[in-house]
Structures are given as structure tokens and as C-alpha cells.
Amino acid sequence: AQKITQTQPGMFVQEKEAVTLDCTYDTSDQSYGLFWYKQPSSGEMIFLIYQGSYDEQNATEGRYSLNFQKARKSANLVISASQLGDSAMYFCAMREVNNNDMRFGAGTRLTVKP
């Protein structure tokens, strides 16, 4: 069964606007971690932000914030003030306490328009 679901294959946003990339997950563990990675066209995978299941506050890192809704099992990435350099694939991932590995979603391709 798919553990991480990203329902938006592609998204467009105007430069300087905010955008939300959706991620829902499925787990029966109480302890888990949620991660977002960015993959620009150059191909590398860049870690952006982390949210722990027990964290009461939403994670923030600069222009990135994670809208964590535990009851809905969603961990959406919000990018504020989009820049052209934000155009990339974005992957949501989850690590469960009872698993050694990290599971990735299918990704969302974000395009920032000038």
C-alpha cells in the first residue's frame, strides 16, 4: 500500500506568491518523521524541512513551512514568496519508528512563472 501520497503531479505558481504542495501519509506508528526534499533540474536531492509526529509546532525553515495536520495525516509544504529558483520536483517522505527506511511520494513538479 502506498504510504506517501502526493496528489499533484504538477503545480504552477506566480513569482512572489505562496504555494502549498500536498502530502498525505499512512502509518499506524505513533512515532514517525516527515521530510520534504527538493530536486532541481540539476538532479541533486536537497533536504528542506523535517516534522516529527510529536512536534506540537509546525516546522519552519526560512521560506519553507510545513502545515502538519496529524488527525488528517497530512504534511503539506508551504513555500512563501516563490522564486524562479524554486522550480523543481518536490518529494515528501516519511520515516517510521519501526522501519529502517524512508518512503517517498511520487513527487510534485513545481513551476514558478515570472
Partner 1 sequence: DTAVSQTPKYLVTQMGNDKSIKCEQNLGHDTMYWYKQDSKKFLKIMFSYNNKELIINETVPNRFSPKSPDKAHLNLHINSLELGDSAVYFCASSQLAGGLVTDTQYFGPGTRLTVL
Q: For binding to partner 1 (CB under 8 A), which residues are involved?
A: 31-33, 35, 37, 39, 43-47, 50, 52-53, 89, 91, 95-97, 99-102, 104, 106-107
Instruction: List the grid coordinates of 64.
Output: 519553507
Q: Which is nearer to partner 1, 32 or 68 (CB)?
A: 32
Min separation Cβ 101 and partner 1, Å: 5
Task: Provide, rounded to whole angstroms, the least separation between the CB of residue 66 and partner 1.
Answer: 14
* Inter-residue contact 111 to 89 (CB < 8 Å): no
Task: Output 19 or 94, the one with its CB closest to partner 1.
Answer: 94
57 or 100: whose CB is closer to partner 1?
A: 100
Q: Give the three-class secondary structure for 26.
A: coil
CA distance 4 to 114: 31
d(CA 102, CA 95): 5
